[in-house]
Amino acid sequence: MPTEAETAVGSEEVQSAEDGPAPSVTAANSIVQLSGDTKVVLIGAGFEPGQEIHLLVTTDQDGIQAESDLTYAGDPEPVANAKGAWGTSCGAFDRWFVGKGWITEGVYSIVATDADGNRLATTSVALYAPEKPDDNWPAWAKIELSE
């Protein structure tokens, strides 16, 4: 049975503290307006230098479980630099996901994997529809409004 650390990074091979930190991915803004020009900026650290990163967007809400490749929406495509860090901006949500009804208002996980699909790190992003009247926004979207 995998340990909690192994489960968190999605791999049976977890880096020790001596080897460096475990891979991590963070969204620059975890609450984002869902619109045609939506961009989600992702930053990763602790990856192998030169490692090609694949990104998946996943959901498990309203009885729907889904996962889709987000890698090709990234600019630049995520590849770890010499220090194991990378950054990308995922845009074109309207063309890739929203316009097709694959992404609606809600909370989604962004999963960073290696080229073999091994899950290495996960972050969450909440998307809300700004065209709705403020009083119809989810409670978590109102936090963004007040900032």
Question: Is 147 buried (19+), middle (13-18) or exposed (0-12) by CB count in 10 A?
Answer: exposed
For the stretch 16-44, pLDDT in tens is: 334 678 999 999 988 888 776 778 899 99
Is the Cβ–Cβ distance between 40 and 27 less than 8 Å? Answer: yes
For the stretch 87-135, pLDDT in tens is: 999 876 655 566 656 677 788 889 999 999 999 999 998 887 777 666 7
Cis peptide before 76 (omega within 30 of 0): yes
Pairwise pLDDT comparison (108 vs 13), residue with the higher score = 108
The fourth-level CATH superfamily of domain 23-139 is Immunoglobulins (2.60.40.10)
* Residue 137 clears pLDDT 50, i.e. is over it: yes
For the stretch 55-84, pLDDT in tens is: 998 877 666 677 778 787 788 989 999 999
Delimit the domains of the chain by residue range.
23-139
Global confidence as pTM? 0.72
Check residue 117 and give its pLDDT: 92
Check residue 12 and give its pLDDT: 38
